[in-house]
Amino acid sequence: MPARGDDMTASTGTQRIWLTGATSGIGRALATRLLDRGHRVALSARHPDALEALAGGHDNALNLPLDVADRASVMAAGDRLATHFGGLDLAILNAGTCEYLDASRFDTGLVERVFAPNFFGAVYGVEAALPLLRRARAEGGRPLLAATSSAAAYLPLPRAEAYGASKAALSHFLESLRLDLAGEGIDVSLIHPGFVKTPLTDRNDFPMPMRVSADEAAEAILAGLAAHRLDIHFPRRFTLPLKLLGILPPGVRFRLARHLARDPAPATETSS
């Protein structure tokens, strides 16, 4: 692993990297760059065919198909990583999903579907990656655990009850874990993107100010990971105001964000 401050885009040595959510959006843009730069990259996503297409022509790729919401699947991938890589210099837990809640038709199942990959999937990834990060540390490296949260974790927004809460939970979890891992010499970086053009955000039905491309996002993330930044957030002209709004008193936050909410649809009555 390069020392902190080294440039991951430069030829500073091969890293052993695990990347989840590798076949789409930000994950795909990261995967192609990391593979092209010669790192040994374990690629994880749900669909083996998509992984095969992504890894084609790269003998430094290891395909680990899995469903991050399935703990057994993630732990099995960790066992394969141990066999093939021995240790991990960098784990990027990037897989996730997004659904928006309609409060007039409250759906607990939707909340559970979002939390499964966004929060628990990342927790399973941490469980699988930590022994391998510890091996890299024992070898003299400075391993890094990173996960993709969202700028939505900074500020409550309309319809984001499930998505925002899952990302806020992830950010809190990893910030706490960072404190406990510091004594072991394992660093933790959180990634808080604003809007990024991906197949997931292409489904959004609202304006997405200052949206950046997946390629721009990947470059910002790699620069942040090279520096072991605690909080990798971009584009800053969007994320910095959100961070500032997030620390305002609740009443002020409510008044500022209330106008973003849609008029409620008529509630649907149910009978038993």
Instruction: List active site positions.
Output: 163
Q: How many CB atoms lie within 10 A of CB 245?
A: 15
Residue 2: name the closest of 38, 46, 53 by CA: 38
Burial of 60 (0-12, 13-18, 19+ CB in 10 A): middle
β-bridge mates for residue 231, sequence order: 190
- Residue 15 and residue 87 in contact, taking contact as beta carbons nearer than 8 Å: no
Q: What share of the chain is helix, strand, coil (3-state, %, to 5)?
A: 50, 15, 40
- For the stretch 90-127, what's the b/e string if a residue is b when 16 or more beta carbons lie within 10 angstroms of its beta carbon? bbbbbbbbbebbeeeeeeeebbebbbbbbbbbbbbbbe
- Residue 179 and residue 196 in contact, taking contact as beta carbons nearer than 8 Å: no
CA atoms in the 13 A half-sphere facing the CB of 155:
25
